[in-house]
Chain A
Amino acid sequence: MLRYALGRVLLAVPLLFGLSVLSFVYVRLIPGDPVTAMLGVNSNPTVVAQLREQFGLDRPLPGQYGDWLAGVLRGDFGVSFRSQMPISTIIVDRIPATLQLAGAGLVVSLLIAIPAGVAAGMRPGSRLDSLITSATLFGLAVPAFFLGTLLMLLFALTLHLVPSQGYVPFADDPAQSLRLTLLPALTLGLAISPYLARLTRSAVVEVAQEPFVPFARAKGLAPRKISVGYVLRNALPSLVAALGLTVASLMAGSIVVEALFNWPGTGRLVTGAVTERDYAMVEALLLIYGGLFIVVNLVCELAQSLLDPRVRLT
């Protein structure tokens, strides 16, 4: 196990390093330079030179990269080109809101996708399967913002059950915070569940073909016991690995959902940074989102190998 885990971690390191180079090079790819791009072509040359020096843009690239990476490893992403505030402070401020949304969204999607995927995968080709499969195909076609608008229209603007937009930190007012989380989380969860349901279905279909399933049936075990205790348990390792990939849709989905519900998370930061041409911020966000994706997938792979030791051998 230890050897396997070490191997996986060692594979992730060059990936993270490559990602850091990519994020760094990204900002230097900007036609002209970031400061001119930010201030406009007709900006005062002295101000430009001053800012370039302040951001360290006038030094050789490898040196800049080294300093930047050393800073990143200490949790210092530099200063925002826009607000002149430390980027790490701005991002750390936004993380609780995004985690709250993503976590709640993930719970919603698991509650929908796992039962649906298991029900469809246990009897491939059945009527229930084709119903669920066409529902997922339709669900995949519904954009998160469209779904969110529908939900907002129904639950907030027509039935007045929940507020339509806004965010309150959980620590300040737990009840109101949860009420406000309801719609965005439902939107995000519903938007992701078709992917997850399809992944679950294919994992379940594969396991359901194993000989122990007809054996369990012949033994007279209850269908529920077979699907949950036998099939789902054996599909769990591949599900955990698939969950890691779902994080990408969770990230992309939260960018859109945050914009729709005026949710002050890191997703808003992404859109804002690109619109305002705050390249230091875009650089940091690319690195954080990509790094998070790599790390989450690493953790999922390790969890998969704990659940199914056979994985370690391949």
Chain B
Amino acid sequence: MKTQVAVLVTEPRPAARRRVPLLTTVGASLGLLVLLTIVIGPWLIGQDPYAIDIGNRFAGPGGAHWLGTDELGRDVASRIAYGARATALIAVGAVAIATAIAIPLGVLTGFLGGWVDLVVTRVVDLFFAIPSLLVAIGVIGLFGASVTTTVLALGLSYWPFYTRLIRSAVVGLRSRPNVDAARVLGASRLRVIRTEILTGLVPLVLVQTTVLLGFAILDEAALGFLGLGVQPPQASWGSRLAESREFILVHPELALVAGVPIVLAVFAMNLLSDSLRDRLDAKRTG
């Protein structure tokens, strides 16, 4: 009898059997590929990304060097795999900074309203008025180009738009019946925020995290390309672009190889965030 009940409970609901959209599958597989590159790539390739071999510059793919060698004879594949780690760390750090600013500020302004909202929203608008890449470049101008400043610069360039988003979501959540119910039950403001508002933000934050991770990978690369991101010889996807840029007219294939992983990783993030958005939106209305 007991086993029967267990069978009944574990049987998947019809909704869960819904076919997974093709694009979600593509996104998840690409994401997994990137994750594997980050975690086991360096070990799998087994080459030193910093070992210079001038006699073997610009070697084509094949042999020990899967993707050939760069302008200093370093192994391109391992530079990309190690670079993936640096880029991923930067992206995660930047998103963490933006989230750490945006959630408290957005909740505070959206929930409290009044003059706090008015003042903070004006400041947010001000920062929003500067294109985010320019904010990032400005921060790098202050502290000089490095891994840490890239994280800081990207994090600081995303918070205005993210805060706006959180604020308007909180304004929407605030007028929901569950918030009124919690208030009637005598919950304090802090408790209402914790149990009703923050939990209501989870879908939005999940979607935005994937969106911003994609942005951060793109912007790290753009900064690297401009020579303002991670500085060569340190490996990152951005610095790889900066290195290959000098040889763009003679050896454009190096720039192409440096760009492909960026495209794939960001495409994966875009697909995942889009399907996440669809799924979470459907849940909300259903």
Are A145 and B126 in contact (CB-based, < 8 A)? no
The answer for the CA separation of A286 and B137 in the assembled complex, in Å, is: 10
Residue A212, interface by CB 8 Å: no
- Residues on the A chain within 8 Å of B214, using CB: 140-141
Which residue, of B142, B263, B264, B265, has the highest number of chain A Cβ atoms within 10 A?
A: B142
Closest to B211 in A: A140
Are B228 and A274 in contact (CB-based, < 8 A)? yes
Grouping DSSP codes into helix (H, G, I), strand (E, B) and loop, the A interface class, with mixed when no group exceeds half, is helix
Q: Closest CB-CB distance, A260 to chain B, in whole Å?
A: 8
- Residues on the A chain within 8 Å of B274, using CB: 133, 137
**Partner among A15, A30, A141, A251 whose Cβ is within 8 Å of the Cβ of B263:** A141
Are A143 and B226 in contact (CB-based, < 8 A)? no
Are B133 and A255 in contact (CB-based, < 8 A)? yes
Are A157 and B252 in contact (CB-based, < 8 A)? yes
Residue B23, interface by CB 8 Å: yes
Grouping DSSP codes into helix (H, G, I), strand (E, B) and loop, the B interface class, with mixed when no group exceeds half, is helix
Closest to B143 in A: A31
Residue A19, interface by CB 8 Å: yes
Question: When A143-B218, A145-B259, A274-B137 are in contact, do A137 and B130 touch as well, CB less than 8 Å?
Answer: no
Question: When A145-B225, A275-B227 are in contact, do A282 and B218 touch as well, CB less than 8 Å?
Answer: no
The answer for the CA separation of A145 and B133 in the assembled complex, in Å, is: 14
The answer for the CA separation of A275 and B262 in the assembled complex, in Å, is: 24
Are B228 and A286 in contact (CB-based, < 8 A)? no
> Quick one: CB contact mask for B227-255 with A, threshold 8 Å, 1 for yes?
11000000000000100010011001001
Closest to B130 in A: A290
Interface residues on B, range: 35 or more
The answer for the CA separation of A249 and B274 in the assembled complex, in Å, is: 20
**Partner among B134, B241, B248 whose Cβ is within 8 Å of the Cβ of A289:** B134
Residue B256, interface by CB 8 Å: yes
The answer for the CA separation of A141 and B138 in the assembled complex, in Å, is: 24
Are B225 and A259 in contact (CB-based, < 8 A)? yes
Are A141 and B221 in contact (CB-based, < 8 A)? no
Closest to B222 in A: A256
Are B256 and A293 in contact (CB-based, < 8 A)? no
Residue A216, interface by CB 8 Å: no
Q: Which of A81-89, A148-156, A179-187 contacts B (4 or more CB under 8 A)?
A: A148-156
> Quick one: CB contact mask for B133-149 with A, threshold 8 Å, 1 for yes?
11001101111000000
Question: When A143-B218, A146-B259, A274-B141 are in contact, do A289 and B23 touch as well, CB less than 8 Å?
Answer: no
Residue B181, interface by CB 8 Å: no
Closest to A255 in B: B133
Question: When A30-B142, A141-B270, A149-B256 are in contact, do A256 and B130 touch as well, CB less than 8 Å?
Answer: no
> Quick one: CB contact mask for A150-167 with B, threshold 8 Å, 1 for yes?
101100010000001100
Are A142 and B131 in contact (CB-based, < 8 A)? no
Question: When A26-B142, A146-B262 are in contact, do A252 and B249 touch as well, CB less than 8 Å?
Answer: no
Residue A270, interface by CB 8 Å: yes
**Partner among B129, B143, B218 whose Cβ is within 8 Å of the Cβ of A290:** B129
Residue A248, interface by CB 8 Å: yes
- Residues on the B chain within 8 Å of A285, using CB: 134
Q: Closest CB-CB distance, B249 to chain A, in whole Å?
A: 7
- Residues on the A chain within 8 Å of B228, using CB: 271, 274-275
Hey, which bits of chain A sit against chain B, CB under 8 A?
A: 14-15, 18-19, 22, 26, 29-31, 130, 133-134, 137-138, 140-146, 149-150, 152-153, 157, 164-165, 248-249, 251-252, 255-256, 259-260, 270-271, 273-275, 277, 279, 282, 285-286, 289-290, 293-294
CB-CB nearest 10 A-B residue pairs: A146-B259, A141-B266, A141-B267, A252-B133, A248-B131, A274-B141, A18-B126, A137-B270, A290-B130, A153-B252
10 new A-B contacts at CB < 8 Å, known A18-B123, A255-B133, A270-B134:
A15-B122, A15-B129, A134-B23, A137-B271, A143-B225, A157-B249, A274-B141, A275-B227, A277-B141, A286-B134
CB pairs A–B below 8 angstroms (13 shown): A26-B142, A29-B142, A130-B23, A134-B271, A140-B214, A140-B270, A141-B262, A143-B222, A145-B225, A256-B225, A271-B228, A289-B131, A294-B129
